[in-house]
Amino acid sequence: MKYDIKLKNETDIKHLRESGKLLARALKATAEEVKPGVTTKYLNDFFHDFVVKGGGEPAFLNYQPFGADYPYPGAICISVNDEVVHGIGGDYVLKEGDIIGLDGGVKLKGLITDSAITVPVGKVSDEDAELLRVTQEAMMAGIRAAICGNYVNDISKAIEKAIPKKYGIVKILSGHGVGYKVHEEPYVPNFDDGVKGPKLVPGLVLAIEPMVNLGTDEVVLTNDGYTFVTEDGKKSAHFEHTILITEDKPEIITIQ
C-alpha cells in the first residue's frame, strides 16, 4: 500500500518545536483553570486567548474535517466524562468528580502540533484516577515503540499491550500524521489491526493518542456532528503527544 507521507525538513522541525512548546504551555495553563464551577466555554476561551497571546493560532478553530457538515466552532476540544473526543465548550458547569479531556492544536509559522490531556475535576474516584494513569502510560508505551526502523504497527501493538483487557480501546478513532495539516497520513491505530503500516523514518511527525473507556470500546457520534460519547455512558480518557521520528529515540515535540 502506498502512503502519502510528507516528511518534515529542518526548518519545519524548528517551527514545530516552537509550536509544540506553546501548545504545552497553553494546555498546562488551561488545566490549571479546571475546577468545580467553571464552564467549558470559559476553558475554551482561556485556551484561545493564551495561544493568540503567544503568537499562535488555535489550529482546530474553523477546521472542517472530511465528512463534517460545518467547521469546528471551538478553539480546543473539551470532552467531559463519557465524551470521548471532540466535545465543544459550552454552558456545562464542571463539578467535583468529573474528568475532562483537553485536546488542543496550535498553528505557528505554518506548522501544526496536536496534544491532549485528561485531568480530574477536584477529587475523583480511584477507578477514574486509574483510567487516567493507564491511558497516559499507554500513550508513553506507544511513543517508546516509535523507533526509527520500526513500523506504525509496532506503535499500535505497544499501546494495546499497555492497556489491561478490562478497558475498552476506542478503535474507530486513531493517531495520525500532523504538521502541515491537522490530519495527515499515516493513521496510527491504538490496537493491533494486523496492518504493518509504513516504516518509521527520520522527519516523520506523528500524533500518538490512545482513547480508553471504562467500559465498552463502542462509541457514538452525537447530534452536534463532532462529539463522540461512549455507547454505555461510562467515562473515557484521552492523552496525546506530537512526536518526531529521529535517527535516535523519538522526540516529544509537545513539551515545554
Q: Where are the domains of the chain?
A: 10-252
Which segments of 33-104 does DSSP mark as H helices, in order? 40-53
Characterize the bridge pairing of strands 168-169 and 211-213. antiparallel
* Euclidean distance between CA atoms 254 and 242, whole angstroms: 6
pLDDT digits (tens, 9 = 90+) for 63-121: 999 899 999 999 999 999 999 999 999 999 999 999 999 999 999 999 999 999 999 99
**According to the model, what pLDDT value does residue 90 have?**
98
Strands (DSSP E) along 144-216, which ranges?
168-169, 175-177, 184-188, 205-208, 211-213
Q: For domain 10-252, which architecture applies?
A: Alpha-Beta Complex (3.90)
pLDDT digits (tens, 9 = 90+) for 215-242: 999 999 999 999 999 999 999 999 999 9
pLDDT digits (tens, 9 = 90+) for 140-198: 999 999 999 999 999 999 999 999 999 999 999 999 999 999 999 999 999 999 999 99
pTM for this entry: 0.97
Identify any residues that bridge with 151 across adjacent strands, giving them in sequence order.
199
Sign of the alpha-carbon dihedral angle for 45, 43, 15, 7 = negative
DSSP designation for 26? H
